[in-house]
Chain A
Amino acid sequence: MFNKPAGTFNASYTKDEAIVRTRTQWGLLIILVGILAVVPYYGPLASDYWINFLIYVAITVISVQGLNILTGYCGQISLGQAAFMAVGAYTTAILSSKAGWPFLACLPMAGLMATAVGFIFAIPAVRVKGFYLAITTLAAHFVIIYLIISLEFTGGSIGIYIERPRIGSIIFDSPQSFYMLVIGVTIVMTVFAKNIVRTKVGWAFIAIRDNDLAAKVMGVNPFTYKLLAFSISAFYAGIAGSLLVYHLQFAHPEHYGLTQAIWLLGILIVGGMGSINGAIFGSIFVRLIDEITNIHISPALGNLFPSLAGQMSAALGLLVFTAIVGIFIIYEPRGLSHRWQLLKASYRLWPFSYWT
């Protein structure tokens, strides 16, 4: 259904396996990276406000990539992603503020800690599926957040302040420099995700998603691979949580509520499950709409209905999110990435686009 560009033939296996296949794609990729590097300094987005927004989107992308591997590729629904982000965030906050660890040590440690916690909760979770799994991950969420609020060294409901990240003598104290750091990590994590899902592990995940009994018959051990998917997803969440806590310079349980976990799932649906592009599209699309709602629409509606102005901003975001995700579930369950594929296919076949 989705054709290669005309005249492109894969003459070798290396070429067949490549992610970037043609010269045009290389060109576009370099332009994209160039734009990402230039955006904080020139152009319409070169203000602190938009840079902070982009940082937030990039952190979301990392977390959703992890969720995508678990839910999109391995088919295991998870409501625990926000709590695993919290594990990463608090690992970073504690190591950085109390033990004085540098960024390069905190970041992987946050990922590993989240992986370890995710692994513990995955053991009951991989035994069950569907709805039971959703509840198991919900239980994981509540238990983790309870521990964070109740334990003394996590700062409870007061939270922990942390310093700006630094690598060696470089301190990332401006939004621009921190943006570079986050975008770098995001690119690495995205490439890593892409490579996971197109190798043996990824194929095993897809087999389990499509029919785990059939996968078992073919020699894919669902238990091992589900555990692996949970661990990878928790690792991504840990990295995202660590970056988020550096971004906000503050760790607080409020940032990692159940609503956040649902937002991440919703973003995944909007972007398209089982697609690396989808996680990126979904994050940009949903966060952008949320930002527009908060800044433009809810004050306007608040002026129209003054009696509701106080709660408008809190409520409208939730309602818009529900509407968007609901519409996507009903009308385009494969998400924005499917639309993107259709667009590409129709561009390639132009002017005979109706063939697709």
Chain B
Amino acid sequence: MDMFIQLLISGVLVGTVYGLIALGFVLVYKSSGILNLAQGELVMLGAYICYTGINVLHLNIALAFLFTFAVSGVMGIVISRVAIRPLVGQPLLSVIMMTIVLSIGLRGIAILAWGAETEGLSIFGHSYYHIAGAVVSEQSIWAFALSVLAVVAFALYFQKTKGGRAMRAVAEDQQAAQSVGIKIINVFDHSWLIAAVVGALGGILLASGSGVSIELSHLGLKVLPVVLIGGLDSIQGAIIGGVIVGIAENMAVGYLDPVVSDWGLVGGGLRNVFPYILALFILVVRPHGLFGQKRIERI
């Protein structure tokens, strides 16, 4: 039972970060209909930028966060203008391919600038707490708290501000939004900016536990099973999907790894695969995720 609670709590903590990153993904999809398969690389780059801010520019933590957000935000806008804007109105396949190829390019930038080294990123304390019989590190509590904060901030942003409302309007109906004077292209830039910033924050939070490396992009790719489970166009789905994936992969490590190693599957890499297996099962049962809209197709 102790193990169960331990796995559950650490799953929820890391799952919130996944949910946060998934939020950035869902946002781009809702406002522009673009599926951003480069989100994992945005996550990785965010962590590397923060590493540079702290270890090379010697900023303090708050400034390093701001520095990361600024650089990632600019990167998001550049991606939106250079790569995405020319593809407005192109078939889905082209747009998906563009983001896939972008992920390769961003990986190239990371290798060029940081040499694909694994670096430590210890920005939070190293103490441990006991909560409800589980041992929880200070880092994961920070990650959880900041993710929740960010999610709440974005929810408020969508509900209360002009920019957020414009994004919701575009998500609802692009033509109608245009007819009331919303510049769609600005909204695209906007959503990419937010996606990059959210990805960067998620990257920092993940890296503060695992360290910064190129492999962080695979960790960031876990956003894809998250949105599959939650449903592509649902913000609460993204958060809940994130928590589900976080719990599921921890449970897989705790309960399934010993089982599969009896079957001859050694090495314990199940943690990274299990979210995808779960997503495959959910797709077979509910092709549109738990909260996604079922679309009716017409010819």
Contact = CB atoms under 8 A, between A and B. Distances in A.
B273 A77 contact: no
A142 B269 CA distance: 10
A305 to B, nearest CB: 10
Interface of A: 71, 75, 77, 79, 123-124, 127-128, 130-132, 134-136, 138-139, 142-143, 146-147, 149-152, 156-157, 211, 213-214, 217, 259, 262-263, 265-266, 269, 273, 308, 310-312, 314-319, 321-323, 325-326, 329-330, 333
Interface in B190-234: 221, 224-225, 228, 232
Identify whether the interface residues of A are mostly helix, strand, loop, or mixed: helix
Interface residues of B, number: 49
Nearest to A330: B86
A124 B280 contact: yes
B105 A211 contact: no
B273 A217 contact: no
Interface string B238-262: 0000000000000000000000100
Contact of A329 (B92, B97, B104, B115): B97
B111 interface: yes
A73 B276 CA distance: 27
Nearest to A76: B93
Given A139-B276, A214-B299, A134 B37 contact: yes
Contacts of B112: 308, 311-312, 315-316, 319
Nearest to A313: B111
B276 A138 contact: yes
Contacts of B299: 211, 213-214, 217
B90 interface: yes
Given A149-B269, A152-B264, A314-B111, A130 B96 contact: yes
B279 A139 contact: yes
Contacts of B228: 132, 135
B116 A311 contact: yes
A128 B276 contact: no
B93 A77 contact: yes
Contacts of A316: 108, 112
